């Protein structure tokens, strides 16, 4: 029974891995082609490219983690290999979350309408704001890596002396719990920022619709459509990230009880976010959506 579930979860993860590579690779390819043709790359396209790169690294890391759990669990208690696996995941996860959050902030500044002088100041300097936020996130990344390094050092140091394999494995669950708890705490920051952006977009849309009603305009205009499209993108990020966050919470339990099957389930759940959200971004971007439909039409015509 357990081996059957492992096989099913493996197939699910491989499907998510392929989906993540295809969707994110498509985003990179189309934007790079557009960059070469037009000799110019808009800010939103730059964000999408780096977001797609971070997610490709993330899905590869998840797949590597998967096969380590299945076939080479001893690597998790070896110093160098352990650091590589953990730090790769932390860096890729950091940029995947923060670049998606920055995309939410970009939509907020470009689409929302507020009379606040502070908001207008930020709106007029959107490029500088995005750059400063991105540089600011490096502080969180540094603190996260530093904290994880301390956990790894504290866990590995006692095992520099002669200890049994069983004693190392028995303490690994606690160490893994500490790592995931630290990552989760730092991951809540971009989630909170994206949630605030979502709420401000809703408030801006409400104000805009109210203004339209006062002006006796019943039909949706372009600004309303832009609000709705931005809200779809942001809420999809929030919902999919919630599933990623839930997988981390469940993995805490699997670490405490050393349940490999539950840990594999969490990896499958966690890979949904970087794989599926990129397809939503493609569909919500006019240029990417048009290129995707054109490519699909050509593939179907050849068949």
Question: pLDDT tens, 34-74?
Answer: 999 888 888 889 999 999 999 999 888 888 877 776 666 66
Whether the pLDDT of residue 262 is over 80: the answer is no
Total number of domains in the chain: 1
Q: Above pLDDT 90, what percent of the chain?
A: 16
**Contact criterion met (CB below 8 Å) for 52 and 25:** yes
Could you list the residue range(s) of the whole structural domain that residue 224 is in?
1-301
Q: What is the mean pLDDT of residues 112-139?
A: 88
CATH number, domain of 122, equals 1.20.1070.10
pLDDT category of residue 21 using cuts at 50, 70 and 90:
very high
Q: Report whether 268 contacts 13 (CB < 8 A).
A: yes
Average confidence (pLDDT) over 76-103: 80
Query: Quick check: 225 pLDDT over 60?
Result: yes
Q: Please report the pLDDT score of residue 219 as a whole number.
A: 46
Average pLDDT for residues 216-227, to the nearest whole number? 62
Mean pLDDT, residues 21-35: 93
Determine which of 2-11, 38-47, 183-192 has the lowest per-residue pLDDT on average: 2-11
């Amino acid at each position: 029974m357990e081996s059957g579930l492992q096989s099913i979860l493996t197939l699910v993860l491989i499907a998510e891995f392929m989906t993540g590579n295809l969707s994110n690779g498509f985003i990179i390819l189309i934007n790079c082609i557009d960059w070469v043709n037009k000799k110019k790359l808009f800010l939103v396209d730059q964000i999408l490219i780096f977001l797609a790169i971070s997610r490709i690294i993330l899905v590869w890391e998840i797949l590597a983690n998967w096969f380590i759990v299945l076939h080479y669990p001893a690597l998790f208690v070896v110093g160098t290999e352990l650091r590589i696996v953990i730090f790769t995941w932390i860096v890729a996860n950091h940029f995947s979350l923060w670049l998606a959050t920055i995309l939410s902030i970009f939509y907020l500044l470009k689409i929302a309408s507020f009379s606040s002088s502070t908001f207008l100041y930020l709106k007029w300097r959107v490029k500088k704001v995005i750059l400063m936020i991105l540089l600011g996130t490096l502080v969180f990344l540094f603190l996260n890596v530093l904290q994880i390094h301390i956990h790894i050092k504290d866990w590995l140091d006692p095992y520099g002396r002669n200890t049994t394999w069983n004693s190392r494995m028995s303490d690994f669950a606690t160490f893994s719990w500490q790592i995931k708890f630290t990552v989760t705490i730092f991951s809540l920051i971009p989630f909170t920022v994206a949630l605030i952006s979502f709420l401000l977009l809703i408030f801006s849309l409400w104000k805009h619709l109210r203004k339209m009603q006062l002006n006796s305009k019943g039909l949706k205009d372009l600004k309303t459509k832009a609000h709705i499209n931005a809200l779809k993108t942001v809420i999809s990020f929030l919902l999919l990230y919630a599933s990623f966050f839930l997988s981390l919470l469940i993995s805490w339990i699997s670490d405490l009880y050393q349940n490999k099957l539950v840990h594999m389930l969490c990896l499958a759940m966690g890979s949904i976010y970087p794989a599926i959200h990129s397809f939503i971004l493609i569909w919500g971007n006019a240029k990417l959506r048009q290129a995707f439909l054109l490519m699909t039409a050509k593939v179907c015509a050849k068949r």
